[in-house]
Structure 1
């Protein structure tokens, strides 16, 4: 299992690490607590000696005597599910190292990410209620961990096509955008895949480093432009960049095994990977509280534009959040989403929260301007 990182603590009643468990035991009680995916096999003495009435243990490995005792006290025990390539009760988000464990030794097909995708492909349409329940438990746990991570942060979503190749001018521009946004104090969130999504996460990763680092990283990555034909080579190139420039800046990726043929990019510090694409799409946009920047893309990006438009149109999430579309020709001629968006916004509060710009370089200023309008309305 992943080890927890320093950062936002769990809610008071949730225990997601052995450190938190030991602290609760030292305080004298586990009553009513929720212990989530913590290996307690060597904590039998503590479990036997501590009040666990009303506690809930989700996927915690225990010795039989300890499990019998806590059940007798009225605790609920949801045991680990054997044979799964993922933990449905996980208390933390994924990391690139966790999803790509074993990459160097056995290639991508040997990684936990690939194993989970194969399990999903086997079970997605078999009608087995147990499999669908496990997927739902996992995705709810991921949402909970994501919300805990993002408490108090200003999140900007960056959406764009997965086909943007490394080494291209568009890729480099998206990477510079991610760096600019991260340096302004925003948390960059993407769909977590390759292409423009990877570029934005790479830019956030590069934010603490000198400017020349990003140029060099883009050059190195350009030797493996795409995840086809080899995900292994594509991912190894990214990890080589991370190894050469460690301690990069943080960002969030929210991919899905629904599109599992697209691997998650390794540049986000935290990866909230879902089985259900609908939860992933809505969750990504809903958490982009500082607005969303839409780079040129195809059907998926168009869907995200109007998934974001609907709550802004109806005000179902409060005041509309900023939306910046990048690429005037793309969004007015090739895929004319902008005329429809502008027509929908006319006369509504969201009218002052949308913008169309020609270039990626203009997007941060446009976002800041729309954010000022949003802040004035909120005030």
Structure 2
């Protein structure tokens, strides 16, 4: 018999299930069970799988004897490959007061730099297991949610009109009931997550937040100062709205922003890019960007081009001059769309102010 929900990701969930007497068939994911030895000794753990769960030796012996599979925690890693939940900004930036270099985010990037080319199958396996766990957590978090992706360049500086416009867009989309998802980094990505964060706050909160952030306009030369400014805004306006950031350690020079309430950070950038676009079921908005954003346009356009079973999710490019003259992606996208199902699902607009209405007209 298959359990309707076989994943256990918190100690509270474990206690609820084990009270019924059986863990058979469950997947217990990264739960500290050192204080649940008696419960493990008493419960049926046949066909269970324990992923990175700390437990006492006698408990581990017993569950293995029951027929459970036990994948023990991996020591001396700056990340948990078996994690069951998405990251929070507070988790990734723990220790920021002493400098970004000592945070879990920076330590994970340093580990990646040391191991990405060492040819060690164990290191590559750990990265793959971690990224798969993140994808699982992301799917659970977004289940039944209408997601709109907001793409754009990392170089957009705080304090500029483009940054403000991206923040206003994120706020408007969130207030319309959509969940904003971005690449999770700085620039346009941070601005959209900021807008989503401030969606529950009065309109004037955005102007105050932008003024605070402008004191550290870029993550260069100091990621520490850049991140501290963001946490100062979070402290000034607590209980912000939720959004998702999907960054990567592949681009370690781009730190994650602190305004996404849930962060799905990957080692593999290809997995991150594809996952972000595939989960944007309510549409994707492309703000002015460079190579990365152009790649995302056509990464998203390809499955839309071949879509034959229904209506592809909308694609809206913002910035007529940028996408027709500076980086003329729009004419090529139009040519690809001609005669296809996606033809009526793409749009080019001049400013972010037009996006909510255009998106609504395509829904």
Q: Does 1:285 align with 2:277?
A: yes
TM superposition outliers: structure 1 runs of 4+ over 2 Å: 316-319
Over the residues paired in the alignment, what is the CA RMSD in angstroms? 1.0
Shift of 1:316: 7.3
Instruction: Give the secondary structure class of the aligned counterpart of 1:257.
Output: coil
Aligned residues of 1:326 and 1:359 also touching (Cα < 8 A): yes
Alignment-derived partner of residue 53 in structure 2: 60
**Mapped pair 1:215 → 2:207:** yes
1:345–1:149 CA distance, 2 compared to 1 (3 A): same
| CA distances 1:328-358 after superposition (whole Å, capped 9, x unpaired) | 0000000000000000000111000000001
Task: Name the count of aligned residue pairs.
Answer: 361
Residues 236, 316 of structure 1: CA spacing in aligned structure 2 closer, same or farther, 3 A cutoff? farther
Counterpart position of 1:196: 188
Is the CA contact (8 Å cut-off) linking 2:213 and 2:229 kept in structure 1? yes
The 2-side partners of 1:336 and 1:326 are apart by 12
Deviation of residue 366 (structure 1)? 1.2
Indicate whether 1:35 and 2:35 are aligned.
no
Matching residue of 1:69:
62
Name 1:267's counterpart in structure 2: 259
Q: Note the residue ranges of structure 2 that are not aligned, 5 or more in a row.
A: none
TM-score, normalised relative to structure 1: 0.94
Q: CA separation in 2, counterparts of 1:352 and 1:327?
A: 19
Aligned to 1:6: none
Between the aligned partners of 1:308 and 1:366, the Cα distance in structure 2 is: 18
After TM superposition, list the pairs within 5 Å mapping 1:201-350 onto structure 2.
Answer: 201-315=193-307, 319-350=311-342
Tell me which residue corresponds to 1:97. Answer: 90
Q: Paired residue for 2:358?
A: 366
1:66-103 CA distances to partner (integer Å, 9 max, x unpaired)?
A: 00000001000000000000000000000000000010
Residue 319 of structure 1, CA deviation: 2.9
Are 2:308 and 2:341, in contact at CA under 8 Å, matched by a contact in 1? no
- Pair 11,338 (structure 1): closer, same or farther in 2 beyond 3 Å: farther
User: How far did residue 163 of structure 1 move?
Assistant: 0.3
**Cα distance between partner residues in 1 of 2:288 and 2:352:** 10
Q: How does 1:150-165 map to 2 (within 5 A)?
A: 150-165=142-157
